[in-house]
Structure 1
Amino acid sequence: MAILQPLIDMAEICYQQGIRHVVISPGSRSAALTLAFVRHGGFQAHVCIDERSAGFIALGMAQQIDSPVVLICTSGSAAYNFAPAVSEAFFQQVPLLILTADRPKEWQHQYDGQTIYQTGIFDPHVKRSFEVSPDYQHPDVQWAINRIANEAINLASIAPNGPVHINVPIREPFYPGLEEDFKASDEVRIIKRSEKETVWPQSMWEELLDEWENAPKILIAGGQQKPDAALNAILRRITDEWQIPVLGDCIANLSGDEFIRHHDLFLGAKDAGDLRPDLLITFGMSFISKEFKQFIRKNPPKWHWHIGEDAFLADPFQSVTRDIPGIAASLLEKLFERLDYQSFVENSDLSQDTSFHDLWLRSERNARQKKHESLKNLSLLNDLSLLDIIIKYTDNRYQLHIANSMSVRYANILATENEWQGVFANRGTSGIDGCVSTAIGAAKVSGQPTLLIVGDVAFLYDRNGLLINNLPQNLKIVVLNNAGGNIFRMIDGPGNLPELETFFETRHSFSAQRTCEDSGIAYFRVSGKEGSESIVKDFLNSDGIALLEGFTDPVENTRAWKELKRVLQ
C-alpha cells in the first residue's frame, strides 16, 4: 500500500462521483494530492501557477458544467489566494471542491515555512469545511477520509450549490518511492445522495391563487441565472397568453422579444410610479439594475414572492412577503396549470390588468428606440460606440462573459437584443478580480465561441490567468482601455473630488499588447471611429484566441453614458 493511500483513494472517489476536471497550482507539500489526480488517468488536469487565477479558472469551468471542479494547492499563503474565487463561488452558488495541503499542527509558530492557520480558512464562504487526520495508516482515519470525500462532493452539488473545503495535513515523507503503485484500494466506497423533491402543500397553493386573483397588476422579474429552456418557455406562455410583463437583466438569460430588457433606461423617470405592481414574482440571484431595485424599494408591491433554492432569505428589494423554496420553472409551470384549469372550470378569464402589460411594453419600446437614436449620434469612438459595433457583428454562436464595473453596466443596455449562448458575470461578489480567468475556464470546457468584455483595470489585475498552457482558442477578449477606473467618473461621489484621478481612477499608461505577445494571442487595436468596423470584423473572424483593445477617453465615455441616460429620463 502507498504511504498516502487514502489520498489516492480520494481521487478515485472524485472520479466515481463524476468529477472530471482538476485545476492544480504546483507546490511541494501538495505533491501527494497532485500525483493522486494526475496519475489516476481519468481527469483533465489544468496547471496554473497563480492560485488566485487558478481559483477563477476552476469557477469558470464549474459554472459551465454544473459539476464540482477540484482545486489543489500547497500549504501556507497559497491557500489564501483561493479566497476571492471561493467567495465568488459561494455567493454565485457554483460547486467547487477545494483541497489544500497543510503542514501538521505541531509545526505552527515554529518558524517552519509555509505554515499558517488553515483550519476553516475559507469560513464562512464555504458550505462546509473539513479537515482530515495526517495519520493515514490508521483504519479509522482511512474510513473517515473516504466518508469525508463523499460527503464533500455530495454537499457541493446539493442546491444551493457551492464550494466545499477539505484541509489535508501531510507529514513527510510525501513523495512516493519508485516502487509505489498508484492504484485505488479495494476499500474505496462510493456514497450517493438522492435529490430531495420539492413538494408544495395544498394550503400554499390556495394562498398563492388567492393572492394572484387579488393582484390586477403582476410583474415577474429574473435575477442572475444560467440559461434555462424550460423557464424561458413557461415565461413566454405567461406573458403571451396572460399579458403579464416579464423583466430581466442580461444575466437573467431570458431569450425572446417578449421580455422587458431596457428597464435600466426608463425606471429612473419621475412618472414611473404607474409601473408599480400589486404582486411581484422574482427568481434567480443578483440583479444588475440599481434602477429596478430602487424603483421597487420606493414602490413596494402588496405581495412579493421570491422563488429559489437559497440557504438564506434574500430580500434586496426590501419587499418579500413569501419565500418559496424550489425551482422557478417547476413552480411557474404548476402555477400556470392550476390557474389555467381554474379559469376553464369557472369559464372565466383571469382578472389581470392587461393595460399594465401594455404600459411596461410601451416603456420598453420607447427606451429601445431612443437608445438606438442616441447610439447613432455617437460620432466619436468611446466605450459605448465601440461595444455597439462589436455586439452588432457577433452572432448567436457566442457565449458572452462580462467583467464587473462599467463593462456589465454597458452590456445590460447594449447586449439585450442579441441571442447569446448564455451571458455570464461574476455577480456573486461583483469584484473585478478573476473576470479574465473565469472566462478562460468557461471557454476551455464549453467548446463554444466565447466573447469576454473587460475593462483595462480588471484585465491588468487578472493577467496571470493567461499564463497557462493551452489557452482556449475559442476565446475572444475585448479590453476597454480608458486608462483607469472610468466608473468613478460616472457614479455619484468621487466624480467631483480633486483626488479622483490618483486615488479612485488610478490612471495608468499600460496596454494589453505585451501580454498578448507573451501569451501568443493575436492582438488588434482600435483608437478612433474611422476604420473601427473593419478592425472589429477582422478581430471576430480571426482564427484562434485574439484580443481587441479599444483606447477611449474617460471624459468622452462619461459624456456619452450620461447623455444616453439623460434622454430616457
Structure 2
Amino acid sequence: MNPATALAAVLVDELARCGLTDVVLSPGSRSAPLALAVHAESRLRLHVRIDERSASFLALGLARRSGRPVALICSSGTAAANFHPAVVEAGESGVPLLVLTADRPPELRDTGANQTIDQLKLYGSAVRWFAEVGAPEERPGQVAYWRSLACRAWHRALGPADPGPVHLNLAFREPLIPDGDTTWCEPLAGDADGGPWVRARTAPPPVALHLPPTRRGVLVIGDGAANVRRYIAAAGMAGWPVLSEPHGGGRYGDHAVSTYHFLLGLPEFAETHRPEVVVTLGRPGLSRPLLSWLKRAEEHIVVAGDPSRWPDPTRSATQVAQAVEIPVAAGDDAWLAAWRRADQAVRGAVDEVLDASGLSEPRLARDLVEALPNNSLLLAASSMPIRDLDQAMRPRRGVRILANRGASGIDGLVSTAMGAALAHNGPAYALLGDLSFLHDHNGLILGPREPRPNLCLVVVNNDGGGIFSLLPQAALRDPFERVFGTPHGVDLAYLAAATGTPYTLLGDISELPKALRGEGVRIVEARTERESNALLHAQLREAAHAALRAALG
C-alpha cells in the first residue's frame, strides 16, 4: 500500500471510531487519498460541494446544529484559503470543525510548484489547534502516530469546555490513488474492540459560584449559551426577568421579556431598573441599549465554559465563572412585576404598529416565527433578520433559532442553513436578506446524489443593504446609494430557476403560511423598500417609548 493511501485510510477509520458521522468534501487532485477513503467508509455521510466556501459553511451548519465535529476536506492551494471565513466563524462561535487540508510535500514548497501555497498555520489563531501531519512514510510507528493524532484532533475540536475548529495539514506524495498493493510494514488496524485509539475522559463538572439571594437580578442570554433551560428554571424560582436574544434559546416562559431593546432604550426605564446582579450566558451583541445597560449593573457575572476565554464586549464583567447557582430569594415579586408590566405595554404598542405595516421586514420576522410548526429550525442572517427577530419576536417554545453571530458575517448563510437543516430532525427555515442570499447562492447547487434537506429559504429583498439605512451613513446622501445601499437589480426568480429551486413570490403577508408549505429546498421572496423600513423602525421606537412612558406614569 502506498503511504498516501495508508495515511488516509487510517485517519478516516480512526475519526469514525471517535464518532465522526459527516464529512464535507470539495473535489481536488491532491486530496484524492482522503476523498477515496471517505467515499469507501460506510459509517460516514458524505457531502460534496464544488465551491470550497460553500462546503465550509455547510460543514459549519452541520456542526452548529449537531454539536459534534464535522470533517471538512479540500485540495491544496487557494482551495484551503476559501475555508478561512467559515473557520473564523467557527472559532468565534465555538463550533467544532475538523479541517483537513491536503498539501504538497515539503520538497515542492517554495519552488513555484503548481497549486502550492504556504498552508502552515494558515488560519492563524482562529483554530484551537494546528498540526502539520508530515508526509507519510512506510516505517514502524506511523500508525500509532496517525491514530493518536486523529483522537487528539477530535477531542480538541469537541471541547467540551472550549469547542472550535482544528486544522490538520496533510502533505501527500504521489501516488495519490491505491496501487493494488495491500501490504504494509505494520498492522494498520485500530483498537480491536472497535473503539478509538485514545479515550479522553471528561473532567468533572466545575464547582458553581453561589450567589447571595436577591430578587433584583436579571438573566441575559446571548449567542452560544449553554445549559439554558437549567438557568431559566433557576431564574424563575428567584423571580428574575429573562432577556434572551432569539438565538440564545431562552425566549420562552412567563419570565421572558421580549421587548428589552425598547425598554432599555428609554433612559427613564434603564435608570430605574438597574439590577443588583446580572448573570450573562453566551455572548449578547444585538441590542446597543442592552449592552449600555449592562455597564450599570452593580455585579455582572459572565458564565463561560472556558474561564480563559470569556465574552465581555462592554468590559463590565465583575466575575467570571464556569457555572453559577442562582438561589431562591425571599420577598415579593415587585421587581419581576414591573418588568412584566412594561413588557406588556411595549409589546402591545409594537404589535399595533406591525399589524398596520403590511408586508414589512419586522412583521415578516414576527409572523414567520408564529407560523412555524413545532420542532422547527430557523436560521437567521446576521444583519437585519436577526435584529428584526430580536425586536419583533414574541416568546414561544418549539422553534430552534440559530445565527452565525461569532464573526457576524453575511457570507455562507445559504450553505450554513443547508447544513443545519441536514442535521435537524424536523422542518427547517432560513430568514435571509437579499445580499446574504446572493453572497452564497452557490449553496443552492446540489449534485444529484447529495443528501437534500427540507429547507425553506425566506429572502427579504430590498435591493441592497438595508441595515445601512438605519445607521449614520444614511445621512451621506451623495455616496450612500452606491457604496452602502449597493442596489443589485437581480431577479431572484431567474436565479432560482437556474438551479431548479422552487420559487414563490410573497404578495401579501397573509399569504405567508401557505407560501411556507412544501418539501425539499425552496425559496420564498418578500420584496420591501429600504426607506420605508427605516421609517417603520423609527415608528416602532417612538410608539414603544410612548407606551412605556404612559405605563410608568
Give your verdict on TM over 0.5: yes
Aligned residue-pair number: 533
Q: Describe the superposition over 1:182-238 as per-residue Cα deviations: whole angstroms up to 9, x where unpaired.
A: 99823566101010113428xx54xx3xxx24x55211111123685xx42552353
After superposition, the Cα gap between the structure-2 partners of 1:286 and 1:82, relative to the gap in structure 1 and judged at 3 Å, is farther
Unaligned runs of 5+ in 1: 341-349
- Who is 1:250 aligned against? 246
Q: Measure, in 1, the Cα distance between the counterparts of 2:183 and 2:500.
A: 39
Q: Describe the superposition over 1:301-339 as per-residue Cα deviations: whole angstroms up to 9, x where unpaired.
A: 22121112134132223221111024xxxx43xx44xxx
Q: Describe the superposition over 1:39-71 as per-residue Cα deviations: whole angstroms up to 9, x where unpaired.
A: 122210000111111111001111121111000
- Who is 1:539 aligned against? 515
Give the 5 Å matches for 1:58-457. 58-158=59-159, 159-180=161-182, 185-186=188-189, 190-200=197-207, 205=210, 208=211, 212-213=212-213, 215=214, 217-225=216-224, 231-232=228-229, 234-239=231-236, 241-254=237-250, 255-272=252-269, 273-297=271-295, 299=296, 301-310=297-306, 311-326=308-323, 331-332=324-325, 335-336=326-327, 350-351=329-330, 354-378=333-357, 380-457=358-435
Q: Measure, in 1, the Cα distance between the counterparts of 2:35 and 2:124.
A: 24
Sequence identity (%)? 29
Q: Measure, in 2, the Cα distance between the counterparts of 1:71 and 1:409.
A: 30
Conservation of the 8 A alpha-carbon contact between 2:222 and 2:248:
yes
**What's the RMSD between the two structures over aligned residues?**
2.2
Q: Measure, in 2, the Cα distance between the counterparts of 1:184 and 1:388.
A: 59
Q: Measure, in 2, the Cα distance between the counterparts of 1:476 and 1:490.
A: 28
Q: Measure, in 2, the Cα distance between the counterparts of 1:376 and 1:45.
A: 45
Q: Measure, in 2, the Cα distance between the counterparts of 1:471 and 1:510.
A: 28
- Who is 1:344 aligned against? none
After superposition, the Cα gap between the structure-2 partners of 1:543 and 1:186, relative to the gap in structure 1 and judged at 3 Å, is closer
After superposition, the Cα gap between the structure-2 partners of 1:21 and 1:56, relative to the gap in structure 1 and judged at 3 Å, is same
Give the CA deviation at 1:11.
0.5
After superposition, the Cα gap between the structure-2 partners of 1:392 and 1:280, relative to the gap in structure 1 and judged at 3 Å, is closer
Conservation of the 8 A alpha-carbon contact between 1:447 and 1:474:
no
TM-score normalised by the chain length of structure 1: 0.89
Conservation of the 8 A alpha-carbon contact between 1:55 and 1:85:
yes
Conservation of the 8 A alpha-carbon contact between 1:281 and 1:304:
yes
- Helix, strand or coil for the counterpart of 1:124? helix
After superposition, the Cα gap between the structure-2 partners of 1:369 and 1:187, relative to the gap in structure 1 and judged at 3 Å, is closer
Q: Measure, in 2, the Cα distance between the counterparts of 1:131 and 1:400.
A: 37
After superposition, the Cα gap between the structure-2 partners of 1:218 and 1:187, relative to the gap in structure 1 and judged at 3 Å, is closer
Conservation of the 8 A alpha-carbon contact between 1:21 and 1:44:
yes
Conservation of the 8 A alpha-carbon contact between 2:14 and 2:190:
no
Give the CA deviation at 1:353.
6.4
Q: Measure, in 2, the Cα distance between the counterparts of 1:388 and 1:422.
A: 15
Unaligned runs of 5+ in 2: 546-553
Deviates more, 1:418-427 or 1:434-443: 418-427
- Helix, strand or coil for the counterpart of 2:524? strand
Conservation of the 8 A alpha-carbon contact between 1:488 and 1:495:
no
Amino acid at match of 2:389: A
Q: Measure, in 1, the Cα distance between the counterparts of 2:395 and 2:166.
A: 37
Give the alignment partner of residue 483 of structure 1, picking from 453, 463, 473. 463
Conservation of the 8 A alpha-carbon contact between 2:376 and 2:429:
yes
Answering whether residue 477 of structure 2 is matched by residue 501 of structure 1, we say no
Conservation of the 8 A alpha-carbon contact between 1:154 and 1:192:
no
Conservation of the 8 A alpha-carbon contact between 1:250 and 1:416:
no
Answering whether residue 472 of structure 2 is matched by residue 492 of structure 1, we say yes
Give the CA deviation at 1:20.
0.8
Give the alignment partner of residue 522 of structure 1, picking from 502, 506, 509. 502
Q: Measure, in 1, the Cα distance between the counterparts of 2:253 and 2:285.
A: 19
After superposition, the Cα gap between the structure-2 partners of 1:123 and 1:402, relative to the gap in structure 1 and judged at 3 Å, is same
After superposition, the Cα gap between the structure-2 partners of 1:170 and 1:55, relative to the gap in structure 1 and judged at 3 Å, is same
Q: Measure, in 2, the Cα distance between the counterparts of 1:150 and 1:388.
A: 44
Q: Measure, in 1, the Cα distance between the counterparts of 2:284 and 2:219.
A: 15
Q: Describe the superposition over 1:429-451 as per-residue Cα deviations: whole angstroms up to 9, x where unpaired.
A: 00000111111001112131111
Q: Measure, in 2, the Cα distance between the counterparts of 1:238 and 1:32.
A: 52
Conservation of the 8 A alpha-carbon contact between 1:22 and 1:69:
yes
Conservation of the 8 A alpha-carbon contact between 1:456 and 1:482:
yes
After superposition, the Cα gap between the structure-2 partners of 1:548 and 1:184, relative to the gap in structure 1 and judged at 3 Å, is farther
- Who is 2:549 aligned against? none
- Who is 2:542 aligned against? 566
- Helix, strand or coil for the counterpart of 2:345? helix
Give the CA deviation at 1:286.
3.5
Deviates more, 1:513-522 or 1:27-36: 513-522
TM-score normalised by the chain length of structure 2: 0.91
Amino acid at match of 1:550: A
Amino acid at match of 2:219: I
After superposition, the Cα gap between the structure-2 partners of 1:357 and 1:418, relative to the gap in structure 1 and judged at 3 Å, is closer
Q: Measure, in 1, the Cα distance between the counterparts of 2:113 and 2:293.
A: 56
Q: Measure, in 2, the Cα distance between the counterparts of 1:114 and 1:139.
A: 31
- Who is 1:3 aligned against? 3
Amino acid at match of 1:290: R
Conservation of the 8 A alpha-carbon contact between 1:481 and 1:511:
no
Conservation of the 8 A alpha-carbon contact between 2:366 and 2:389:
no
Give the CA deviation at 1:553.
1.3
- Helix, strand or coil for the counterpart of 2:233? helix
- Helix, strand or coil for the counterpart of 2:124? coil
